[in-house]
Amino acid sequence: LLQGCAESKRLKRGGNNLNFPNSLFGMGNPLLDISAVVDKDFLEKYGLKPNDQILAEDKHKALFEEIVKKFKVEYHAGGATQNSIKIAQWMIQDPHKVCTFFGCIGEDKFGEILKQKADEAHVDAYYYEQTEEPTGTCAACITGDNRSLVANLAAANCYKKDKHLDLKENWKLVEKAKVYYIAGFFLTVSLESILKVAKHASENNKLFTLNLSAPFISQFFKDALMEVMPYVDVLFGNETEAATFSKEQGFQTEDIEEIAKKAEALPKVNKKRPRIVVFTQGKDGTIMTKGDKVETFPVLKIDQKDIVDTNGAGDAFVGGFLSELVQDKELEQCVKAGHYAANVIIRRAGCTFPEKPDFH
């Protein structure tokens, strides 16, 4: 009996790697990635930067057809949040369905592929399915170790709080979680859904995490971003996103450590937890705020020739980080797991992974 008591105490603390189902909750844009190695002319034709993330405009409509006709494409289940949630589940391995994912798809072939892929990854995915728009896609245009992403949100843009998140059985899954992750991309879709989840986390002293995701979010969705920021316990981003965020917020600095400190100091609702800011910098060290200091963590070395595709590296970092965070591990261990996951992903096409991780 005593042993049983000790066991249940340890479970309550989330120790011993034992995680309860639905402990990690993600909500975002489920997209099918259409990935291909393209040439410079293709990028120029559609006015794309080699390393960027944008939303498709009318001028990009033909791109989706041309990339399939002209280049050898691969289809992968994608969408930033969904990628991270899958990676976290892969890192955790057992039990299955520690991770929950919400998002909107169409009732079509691509939607079926996304459902199947989520199932194979042992993620507990609850999609809002509708018939007005087809399942969203994202063209990943790869040149060297750069990737230019063009997202055609379509169905992903149709997520509705009242039609899905508010439903009793769905909200129960939100309440079960102790860590929440939403990529900044979802700010363009359903701010009210994000705020409902963020406020729940804050009021219950749970962890709400957000990603800056892309420069255009800080530029054109600034108001929505700053409405959510007071609830953010962990803020992720890369060096380009951090620089744009700094510029848009009038931080008057390009120094990434200073930017991290200023982002950490932004107003916060739940005072029980200081905000943690984590910025990755590609092959340079990852920086993380801790109290009043900023620490740098070197990434794992990799030979240029072993890099197959950097698409999904940032998502993988977050997935690795969250897989340890949901198990109450030290922040340094979370960063280490993030670096490990990113290192695995960039050796493969798309955001895909081997059967089992080799991380300790």
User: Annotated active-site positions, please?
Assistant: 315
Q: Within 10 A of 2 (CB to CB), how many other CB atoms are there? A: 6
- Residues contacting residue 326 through CB under 8 Å, at least 6 positions apart: 14, 19, 23, 24, 88, 92, 98, 178, 179
Q: How far apart are CA 356 and CA 91, in angstroms?
A: 8
Q: How far apart are CA 329 and CA 352, in angstroms?
A: 25
Q: How far apart are CA 159 and CA 273, in angstroms?
A: 30
Q: How far apart are CA 319 and CA 313, in angstroms?
A: 10
Cα 188 off chain centre by: 15
How many helices (H) and strands (E) are present in the chain, helices listed first? 13, 14
